[in-house]
A and B are shown apart, each in its own frame.
Chain A
Amino acid sequence: MSSENKKVLLEVKGLKKFFPAERALFARVKHFVRAVDDVSFDIIEGESLGLVGESGCGKTTTGRMIVRLEDPTAGTIKIYDKPVNDYERMKYHSIVQMIFQDPYESLNPRMTIFDIVAEPLNIHNIGTLEEREAKVMELLQKVGMTPPESFLWRYPHELSGGQRQRIAIARALVLNPKLIVADEPTSMLDVSVRTGVMQLMMQLQSDYNVSYLYITHDLAVARYMVNRIAVMYLGKLVELAETEELLHNPLHPYTKSLMDAVPVPDPEYKRGEPNILGSISAPIDPLPICRFYDRCPYREILGDRCKTQPHPELKEVSPGHFVSCYPVHEGKL
């Protein structure tokens, strides 16, 4: 994907977000949840990246920081090589938009479909009323809400979940953004409706040349939506590679067990048992060692560096394939 002539759209470097783990009146906060801890990646124009991980791994927090719903504790986020804070907020949101998980909560129930989709145009003072109406109609048509005029004056409660998510997608697209942060946009939808929304998002990506940061827990869905996948575990990126490369050749022990844990829709397929110890915990004041150490099945055999040295860096082990694991770096795994 990283052809020379394409511009880097999003660049995230050393991104951190710590939340206070306890908050007592007047007391100084002593413990922190390291929700996102030193995360770096970039997205090339037109490319899409999937951020995959279990609940609590920090994937949503990362997305929220990129759309500026959350301020980072440390690190930089750049859009077109310019730090996000140098953008005026209005300008920024014409470049970066978001689609939320729950279409039942992300649409204002008191607004009509037209008002919802046209609101960004109002705020940015773009076009006359007629032009806005034409733009909204065009988008509704695009997202498969046809005929558009029959939906314009309806309210969200009259629509099904899949239709609502289509409206949320139309709203995100109305300003012609370059990047859309999509946080589990299909996880609330039924299978029969979900594929339709997935295909719509893929179609829109090529029509509008928009990039997605696609946040999901579902590797199978990510496979269809993105060019590259980044796997996150307790605030850290543990592996990053092109989608098919990652799925066929996972290197980090966490990615491997994640792959083995996902059920396969084929009664004849026998998947392996995930090789992972214990259960997930919150990253409250973690030890300065590999974040996966507690759960790593190889820690007894290969873990001499893992328990003494800081969390391994995300290092390129083959072209475009990055892993943060000492034994993998040393070629032992």
Chain B
Amino acid sequence: MAIIKVEDLKMHYKTKMGYVKAVDGISFELESGESLGIVGESGCGKTSVSMTLLRTLPENAEFMGGHVWFNDNGKMVDLTQLSEDEMRHYRWKGISMVFQAAMNSLNPVYKVGDQIVEAILTHYPETPIDEARAKVARLFELVTLDPKRMDEYPHQYSGGMKQRAVIALALACDPKIIIADEPTTALDVIVQDRILRELKNVQEQLNMAMIYISHDIAVIAEVSKKIAVMYAGKFVEQSDSTTIFKKPMHPYTFLLMNAFPSHVGEKKKLFTIPGEPPNLLNPPTGCRFAPRCPWATEKCGVEEPPYVEVESGHYLACWHPLTEEVRQNELRK
């Protein structure tokens, strides 16, 4: 059974100029031990999805509908309907998060170990402190930090170590789902490589579900078995990673995958996507990608394509899915 099931999730930001439709009808589900990568460009709403799931929204955000079903030992609970106090019970114990800027998510005036102990004691107040510290030491080992450095302050850590500590913090209460929002974006490649390996190991060892959010297709390709491509507040395509890379049916997915340079293999021609991502205050009518889509027809600008399952496990929102022939033609050009 799914550990989380999201249905038609909507969250908009209220601004002076109107509503910014950052999350506009997102649906997906995830089993234990599965990892879903959400890939999209800046401003497409991918971080807003994670904030909506955890209900850590800024003041001007408005929840506009949808359901987040969380599997609490067999019982499906709708997180969107809970009170703030009830929600707090699921946050960190049910779903936890690794934030993008590790340097900012640790408190500079507390020792790193103590911050993780605090998280454990907040959710399990009856835990003896020695036990909590022992757990932190185990978590440190899991993310390959030296447990001796528990009693140091964040400024004594390097960027990669801080990011590891933040991962340990996210694991402190044995969550069922971990959301990683661009956890390696600020890091150099060699450090990024280690963090990615650890995150993947931990996820597999603990059989957690993971939602990995990034703009970097190459990173997503490595950590996620399933990939959802997000564009302008909506998922446009979702499938297993091989299908997304080798047989994408949505024009945006296809162009995005082929716009990404690689340093190995044959030097391929890079694709460009004309235009710029839309402003979510006034998203285009019909398909939101239509104004930039080389294959768009009149219908695309008028009617919005539904997000439907076209093959088993392959979801798509497009009136004119690309065929193998079209893809091959494009790649040969």
Contacts and interface: CB of A to CB of B under 8 A. Distances in A.
Nearest to A269: B264
B290 to A, nearest CB: 15
Nearest to B197: A273
A262 interface: yes
Contact of A221 (B241, B261, B271, B272): B261
B73 interface: no
B196 interface: yes
B259 interface: yes
B133 interface: no
Contact of B259 (A191, A257, A269, A273): A191
Contacts, number: 118
Interface stretch (B98-106, B114-122, B166-174, B186-194): B186-194
A263 interface: yes
Contacts of B216: 263
B25 interface: no
B273 interface: yes
Interface residues on B, range: 35 or more
Contacts of B42: 190
Q: Taking each of B241, B242, B272, which has the highest tally of chain A beta carbons within 10 Å of its own beta carbon?
A: B272
Nearest to B222: A263
A192 B272 contact: yes
A207 to B, nearest CB: 18
A261 B192 contact: yes
Given A263-B219, A266-B245, A267-B245, A190 B270 contact: no
Q: Taking each of A192, A193, A269, which has the highest tally of chain B beta carbons within 10 Å of its own beta carbon?
A: A192
B277 interface: yes
Nearest to A248: B264
Contacts of B267: 223-224, 244
A194 interface: yes
Interface residues of A, number: 42
Given A192-B255, A195-B272, A271-B264, A263 B221 contact: yes
B272 A199 contact: yes
B10 interface: no
B272 A279 contact: no
Given A224-B261, A266-B262, A192 B221 contact: no
A149 to B, nearest CB: 20
A301 B188 CA distance: 27
A297 B279 CA distance: 49
A220 B255 contact: no
B276 A193 contact: yes
B217 interface: yes
A196 B259 CA distance: 9
Nearest to B41: A190
Given A190-B277, A192-B255, A194-B259, A265 B270 contact: no
Nearest to B190: A261
Contacts of B259: 191-192, 194-195
Interface string B17-47: 0000000000000000000000001100000
B261 A262 contact: no
A235 interface: no
Given A223-B263, A264-B262, A279-B160, A191 B256 contact: yes
Contacts of A193: 273, 276
Contacts of A220: 260-263
Interface in B227-244: 241-242
A258 B189 CA distance: 7
A148 B210 CA distance: 47
A194 B41 CA distance: 11
Contacts of A199: 270, 272
B317 to A, nearest CB: 18
27 contacts: A54-B189, A54-B190, A190-B215, A192-B259, A192-B277, A193-B273, A195-B270, A195-B272, A198-B270, A217-B188, A220-B261, A257-B190, A258-B189, A258-B190, A261-B189, A261-B192, A261-B193, A263-B196, A263-B219, A263-B221, A264-B263, A264-B265, A265-B262, A266-B265, A267-B242, A274-B190, A280-B190
User: Which are the 5 A-B pairs with shortest beta-carbon distances?
Assistant: A263-B218, A192-B273, A220-B261, A267-B241, A190-B41
Given A264-B221, A265-B257, A266-B265, 13 more contacts: A54-B189, A191-B256, A192-B41, A193-B273, A196-B274, A218-B261, A224-B270, A247-B264, A265-B245, A267-B222, A267-B241, A274-B193, A279-B158
